[in-house]
Chain A
Amino acid sequence: MQGTLKSLGIFALTIGLFSAVYYRAETTPWQLRVTAALTNSASAALNLLGHPTVVSERPQIGARLPSYVLHDDRIAVDIAIDCNGTWAFAIFVASVLAVRSSWRAKLWGVGLGVPALWLINTVRIVSLYFVAIYVPTIFEEMHLYVWQFLIIAAALFLLKLWADRFLPPANA
């Protein structure tokens, strides 16, 4: 029980630290860079799939930070700071750090999990782009009610995968 409470404490502390940085991010450019990089990844993936797109910076009315727009001549998908998927990364890293394991295992988890999540997040943005083109009526539902938690669920699947690989049964 103590181990579980300690793990929950580490999880909460990591999320708390991330949140503090997240709030402070409004005055620092790193969130912008992450968002720009994610948008560029999605743009590159769409270009590979034969849908040439470009990324533009767009100032938002009433907000101090701009958002990034992935667009072609038909449609534009706005990727705001709050919708860039970084919370899935935070939850994954916090969960890996919370599970009691060696630092080596944790480093492997973060080192492999973050790029994998980046890939899944790119798939999310690309799929939302296609939804916006072909089934625009369900875009809001897909964005708010499906993908926002599926990306977090994906982080948890990666956590399970990591645990299966790096935390073998004690009697094995």
Chain B
Amino acid sequence: MRSTLGFAARFLVAYVLFVVLWVGVLEQRYNDALASVCRHLLFALEEPHLTTDVQRHGNLLVVSHLPHFEQLAPQEIVTRRVHRNTSLFVALTLTTPGPGWALRGLWLAGGGLLLAVSHVGHVIAFAHQHYALHNLGPYFTTVPVDRLARLGWLELWARPAARRRALALATANLFNIVLQRVVPIFLWLPLFLGTLASRRPHLRFGPALGPLAVGAVIVLAAVLALGHGSRAAPPDTIEGVRLGMGAIAAKLVLEQRGYEWTARPRALGASAQAVADLWPRRGPLTERRYGPRYNWLGVRVTMPPDAPPDLGAACVSGIVTAPSDERPERLALMPGDPLGVCRPYWASYSATAHTPGPVIAPDPAETVCRTHRPSCQGHG
């Protein structure tokens, strides 16, 4: 009883001292390093790139996304709620009765590194939870979040995007609810079990302990090396993804609004143009990873019957017809709000201008005469 009370008293003192040290001195430097590692890791691992930067702002980590996610504000992660487990681990390791100081030091180094790895995982899991919640990038699916939990394993297996989305959400929950509480205990428990060695000889640490700690150091060194070895995404990749993501973001808006969309013609034109710009960039890697997902990009814009034909079809089933740089501007000239109704992503969505507007003069360079009206005969 007395030894436990002594342990509790020493623990409280060590806990308070380390919390003060952490908040006053270590936290901001640690967050700087964490932001750097996470930034490099996200650049190295994400395909396509969704994250543009991870920075520390005060006590927060701010994850910035590609600029075309206009509806997605930078994500703020309150790291202190997770990193408080460092204080618990350090105080427990320093004050557990029994081990020598050399062993405590080794434990602090190895366990601290593993804890740091869990913090990196936590930030990455949170960033991708954000994307999964907003149905972006590789997590794009028509399955709403509240239905994901009810999907069976077979259904999830058959729908890769839904599986990725469910996995991203579950991983973030795992970090947030379970790991941040359990990891420090899990790392400390062998030390505590070692103190019972005099009572239970089979619990005595063997020579494998050294390699275990060395292994932990090597794992973190590998992670750090991976972070420093990677480079930021080249600008043209970012630009290509930005354009594609613009189209996906438009689709996301449709999903969030129950597949009904009212938008100005300029938005329709911009979306169609983004599709046209994206299509030639679809390489084998993108196709292998996201092939069926881009099928929704079949866009059919149905215009009033008297609209110039070159403003009609933008992109149908991957075939871009009559791309025109000035299409968005010319579409913007049309009055009225087209109402778009989006069907599931394997179908296309159509947009129809309900309000007939005045006839807009056709672009003479692109107009193809499709009637037998006398006014057309001269273009023949």
- Interface residues in chain A, defined as those with a beta carbon under 8 Å from any beta carbon in chain B: 1-4, 7-8, 11-12, 15, 19, 22-23, 82, 87, 91, 95, 98-101, 144-145, 148-150, 152-153, 156-157, 159-161, 163-164, 167-171
| B interface residues, how many (CB within 8 angstroms) | 41
Top-8 shortest CB links A-B: A1-B206, A3-B202, A161-B4, A149-B88, A1-B208, A160-B4, A167-B199, A157-B8
Cβ-defined partner of B190 (8 Å) among A4, A100, A157, A168: A4
Contact B88 A4 (CB under 8 A): no
Name 5 interchain pairs, CB-CB below 8 A, sorted by A: A3-B202, A91-B181, A145-B80, A156-B185, A167-B199
Decide: A170 and B200 in contact? CB cutoff 8 A: yes
Residues from chain B with Cβ under 8 Å of A168 in the complex: 199
The reply to whether the CB of B182 lies closer than 8 angstroms to some CB of chain A is: yes
Asked if A145 and B7 make an inter-chain contact with CB atoms under 8 angstroms apart, the answer reads no
> CB < 8 Å: which of B1, B19, B193, B198 contacts A99?
B193
Q: Which residues of A contact B289 (CB under 8 A)?
A: none
Given A1-B205, A4-B205, the answer on whether A19 and B4 have CB atoms closer than 8 Å is: no
Question: Is the C-beta of B369 less than 8 angstroms from some C-beta in chain A?
Answer: no
Q: Which residues of A contact B177 (CB under 8 A)?
A: 19, 22, 82
Task: Assess whether A153 is in contact with B15, with CB atoms less than 8 Å apart.
Answer: yes
Q: Is the CB of B181 within 8 A of A152?
A: yes
Q: Does B19 contact A145, Cβ atoms closer than 8 Å?
A: yes
A101–B199 CA distance with the chains assembled, in angstroms: 10
How far, in angstroms, from A90 to B203 measured CA to CA in the complex? 23
Select one of B1, B92, B189 contacting A7, CB under 8 A: B189
Chain B 85-101, CB-CB to A under 8 Å as 1, else 0, gives 10110011000000000
Q: Are A100 and B208 within 8 A (Cβ)? A: no
Residue of A nearest to B15 (CB): A153
Main SS class of interface, B: helix
Rounded to whole Å, the gap between the CB of B333 and the closest CB of chain A is: 42
Residues on A with C-beta less than 8 A from B1 are 161, 164
- Which chain A residues lie closer than 8 Å to B201 at the CB level? 170
**Residues in B lying within 8 Å of A, measured CB to CB:** 1, 3-4, 7-8, 11, 15, 19, 80-81, 84-85, 87-88, 91-92, 173-174, 177-178, 181-182, 185-186, 188-190, 192-194, 196, 198-203, 205-206, 208-209
Instruction: Decide if the interface of chain A is mainly helix, strand, loop or mixed.
Output: helix
In the docked arrangement, what's the CA distance between A152 and B194, Å?
A: 20
Verify A160–B7 contact, CB threshold 8 A. yes
Closest A-chain residue to B88, C-beta based?
A: A149
Q: How far is the CB of A15 from the nearest CB of chain B, in Å?
A: 5
In the complex, what residue of chain B is closest to A167 when comparing beta carbons?
Answer: B199
Residues of chain B lying within 8 A (CB to CB) of residue A149: 15, 84-85, 87-88
- For the complex, give the distance between the alpha carbons of A56 and B174 in Å: 30
User: Is the Cβ of A8 less than 8 Å from the Cβ of B189?
Assistant: yes
Contacts of B87 in A (CB 8 A): 149
Report chain B residues within 8 Å CB of A163. Answer: 196, 199
With both chains docked as a complex, state the minimum distance between the C-beta of A32 and any C-beta of chain B, in angstroms: 17
A170 and B199 alpha carbons, distance in the complex (Å): 4
**Within 8 Å CB of B85, what residues of A?**
149
B80 touches A153 (CB 8 A): no
Contact present for B185 and A152 (CB under 8 Å)? yes
A residues within 8 A CB of B193?
3-4, 7, 98-99
Known: A153-B92, A160-B3, A171-B198. 17 other contacts (CB 8 A): A1-B206, A7-B190, A8-B190, A19-B177, A22-B177, A87-B181, A98-B189, A100-B203, A144-B84, A149-B84, A149-B88, A150-B15, A152-B181, A156-B185, A156-B188, A160-B7, A161-B4
Residues B209 and A1 in contact, CB atoms below 8 Å apart: yes
